[in-house]
Chain A
């Protein structure tokens, strides 16, 4: 009975999400003459210098630029738009806004763009949420030897699952050293994935910069903890003829590099693809301009959102699993 009640309320919540997503698009439609699905999708899955909640309602974000000539520049992204929210042609401080990108007015200028973009906002949000959640989980353990309750009871099985089924199983006896990283990794991806499913949320874990950074962390951790056998296996593969070793070497080095690339592409592709599919179904409504299509695609989007929730968990699991396997391979004894 209880589960049915929960199911119903969560379904309702999903419907609200979906309808609010539609709302934000309907505003899109009214403005332009022709609906461009590709542009709409790209606009939603790419990063931006402002946080557009619904069309016309956007929060300006700070732009931080460091260039050799001008030093550090910090200004609000609202400076790049006029009062009708149209990007200014003349720009501001030598930069103008062009389809979600910041472009220097004079070409060939070298600068570092460290702006707090929409994704950075969601990055901070994800990380703050993680800290709040897990500090309160940790507080649950202050009272020792009691039965886990509330949020602690929700996360404890997941933490134990990661520890026992992913990290311990693949890394072995030294697993404790890597456990904090793996837990942070898993929950960062999970929280990012789930937050990304909310309407008007940024596509954080579907951004290549985010997934690449995580993959590089795993790559560095793997190679810094690699033992003698691991490196010997790469540079002087045992058990094969002498000449073959020189042929195997480039393959081994490519294999070394494909690991982080596959890690980052997998997560990026899975999450971005999910968003694209959901957005496409929503976009159909505006292409066909029909209530029937609207209802049908709404039903589809609800189903897809449920699948995406599953994918959110699976991708977090897979990323952590592969990271553990790579580290396990680098630290295992000679076989």
Chain B
């Protein structure tokens, strides 16, 4: 029974000593310890958070880079295909131009030839007409003599014309 009867003195001292220990430790030990623990935990949490953020950013940058590379590649392809198209069209145009030019030259040449031919024909005709007139003049002059000599003369004249021609 003695074990279970609390001593008054011990009760008194326990209350005083426990409470003073509690107040001293609360102020000078638990408070700074808890604050530092919290601060440290926050620091660790923040560090982890920022590390995570940095990683995300890195991934972001990487994907952006990839996008950029992809875009550049697409651009290059586009430029290349455009250039090809352009050269093709330029080639075609040049061909067409050349063809047109050639056709034009040919048709011009034909025209010139035709006109030259016509001129030549006209000359021939003129010459022929002059000759005919000459012949006719000479025949008319010879008629005054005899018929045979006349004939001979015509023949000679024709021979002469043939020779001169």
Contact = CB atoms under 8 A, between A and B. Distances in A.
Interface of A: 42, 45-47, 64, 101, 112-117, 119-120, 123-124, 127, 130-131, 134-135, 137-138, 141-142, 144-145, 156, 159-160, 163, 176, 179-181, 183-184, 188, 207-210, 212-214, 217, 272
B3 interface: yes
Interface of B: 2-15, 17-18, 20-22, 24-26, 28-37, 39-40, 43
Contacts of A141: 32-33, 35-37
Given A42-B2, A113-B8, A117-B9, A209 B28 contact: no
B21 A214 contact: no
Nearest to B12: A114
B95 to A, nearest CB: 80
Given A45-B3, A163-B34, A213-B11, 7 more contacts: A47-B10, A120-B13, A131-B24, A141-B32, A179-B30, A180-B26, A180-B31
Secondary structure dominating the interface of B = helix
Contacts of A217: 18
Contact of B25 (A45, A112, A124, A180): A180
A137 B13 contact: no
17 contacts: A114-B9, A115-B9, A117-B7, A127-B20, A130-B21, A131-B21, A131-B25, A134-B29, A138-B32, A141-B35, A145-B43, A159-B37, A179-B30, A180-B26, A184-B25, A209-B7, A212-B11
A184 B3 CA distance: 25
B53 to A, nearest CB: 20
B4 A208 contact: yes
Contacts of A117: 7, 9-10
B34 A179 contact: yes
Contacts of B29: 131, 134-135, 137-138
A114 B9 CA distance: 4
Contact of A113 (B7, B20, B26, B34): B7
Contacts of A214: 14, 18
